[in-house]
C-alpha cells in the first residue's frame, strides 16, 4: 500500500437579561456524522483559518461571542447559536489534530485510521510526519490485510462510544449574575457566579473544550467515563454533583468543589442501592 495514499490531498431560549429569573442558552451538540464540507464554513463563521490552533479558536470565539450574545444590544439568538455550533465543530477538529505522536501510538492501527479519516485530508501530511516510521509501516500492513477494502469507510464506527453523548452546556443568568453549568452523563459541573458576561463566556468556552477533550479520550483511548472526566481537574473552579437515576428515583449528591468526592459519593450511593440499603442512605431523594 503506497504511502502516497495518505499524503495526497483532494482538490431553551436565549438569555434575556433581567426579564427572566433564570434562563439558559444551551450549546447544541454537533452531529459527528456531519459532512466535512461544514468544517470550512464553521471556520469562516469564527473568523479563523483552516487548521487554526486551539488558542486561535478560543480567542476568535470570545471576540465574536461578545458581539453576538443576546444580552448585547447587537446580539442575535440565531447568530449566537450558529457561533456555538461552529465552536463545537472547529474545536473538536482542533483537539483531534493536536493529538501527539505519543497518544497516536497508544491506540491501535484501526483507531488511528478512523481518527485520520475524520480529519480534513489537507491536515494528513502534518499529522503523519509526527508518527514514527515503524508505526506507519504497521499501519500500512494493517490496511493491506483488510478484507473489506477501503471503499466507503464507516468514518464513525465509534459513534456509540462518543457521538451519542447527552452533554448540555448552559450559560445562565439571574439578577444580573451569570454562571456556567454542564450536565453530562449524570454529572453536573457548575462554575461560580460572576457579574462579568465576558468572564462567563470564557468559562463557557473552557468547559466546552474540556468536555470535548473528555469525549475524545472516551472515543480514542476507550477510557471509562469516570476516568475521562478527570480532565476537569484543572485550575478552573468547579463544583460537582451527581444525579444517579435509580428506577423512579434520583439520588442527588451534595455539591462539592472536588470531582473525586462527587464520583466517590456517586459510587457509594450505587453500592448502597445494590445492597438494598438505599433507604438508609443520607442523601436527598426526589421523584424523577
Q: What is the pLDDT along the chain (288 residues), one digit of tens a residue?
A: 333 333 333 333 333 333 332 233 344 444 433 445 778 888 888 888 877 777 788 888 888 888 888 887 666 778 888 888 888 778 776 665 554 444 444 456 666 666 666 666 566 667 767 777 677 667 666 655 654 444 333 333 223 222 334 566 677 778 888 888 887 766 788 888 888 877 777 777 788 778 888 888 887 778 888 888 888 887 667 788 776 655 556 667 677 778 888 888 777 777 776 665 545 544 444 333
Question: Beta partners for 179?
Answer: 172
Domain count, the chain: 1
Whether 249 is covered by a domain: the verdict is yes
Do the beta carbons of residue 231 and residue 217 sit within 8 Å? yes
Whether 216 is covered by a domain: the verdict is no
- This prediction has a pTM of 0.47
Whether 203 is covered by a domain: the verdict is no
- The CA distance from 187 to 117, in Å, is 31
Amino acid at each position: 500500500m503506497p504511502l502516497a495514499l495518505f499524503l495526497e490531498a483532494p482538490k431553551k431560549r436565549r438569555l434575556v437579561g433581567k426579564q427572566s429569573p433564570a434562563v439558559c442558552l444551551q450549546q447544541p451538540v454537533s452531529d459527528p456524522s456531519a459532512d466535512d464540507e461544514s468544517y470550512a464554513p464553521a471556520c469562516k463563521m469564527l473568523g479563523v483559518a483552516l487548521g487554526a490552533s486551539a488558542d486561535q479558536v478560543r480567542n476568535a470565539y470570545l471576540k465574536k461571542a461578545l458581539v453576538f450574545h443576546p444580552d448585547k444590544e447587537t446580539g442575535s439568538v440565531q447568530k449566537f447559536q450558529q457561533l456555538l455550533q461552529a465552536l463545537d465543530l472547529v474545536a473538536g477538529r482542533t483537539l483531534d489534530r493536536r493529538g501527539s505522536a505519543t497518544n497516536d501510538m497508544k491506540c491501535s492501527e484501526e483507531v488511528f485510521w478512523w481518527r485520520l479519516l475524520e480529519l480534513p485530508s489537507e491536515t494528513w501530511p502534518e499529522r503523519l510526519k509526527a508518527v514514527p516510521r515503524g508505526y506507519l509501516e504497521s499501519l500500512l500492513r494493517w490496511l493491506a490485510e483488510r478484507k473489506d477494502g477501503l471503499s466507503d469507510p464507516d468514518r464513525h464506527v465509534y459513534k456509540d462510544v462518543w457521538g451519542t453523548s447527552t452533554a448540555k452546556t448552559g450559560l445562565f443568568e439571574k439578577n444580573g449574575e451569570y454562571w456556567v453549568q454542564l450536565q453530562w452523563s449524570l454529572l453536573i459541573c457548575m462554575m461560580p457566579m460572576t457579574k462579568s458576561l465576558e468572564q462567563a463566556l470564557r468559562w463557557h468556552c473552557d468547559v466546552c473544550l474540556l468536555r470535548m477533550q473528555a469525549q475524545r479520550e472516551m472515543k480514542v483511548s476507550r477510557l471509562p467515563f469516570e476516568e475521562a472526566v478527570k480532565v476537569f481537574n484543572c485550575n478552573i473552579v468547579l463544583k460537582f454533583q451527581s444525579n444517579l437515576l435509580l428506577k423512579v428515583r434520583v439520588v442527588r449528591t451534595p455539591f462539592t468543589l472536588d470531582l473525586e468526592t462527587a464520583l466517590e459519593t456517586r459510587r457509594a450511593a450505587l453500592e448502597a442501592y445494590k445492597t438494598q440499603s438505599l433507604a438508609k442512605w443520607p442523601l436527598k431523594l426526589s421523584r424523577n
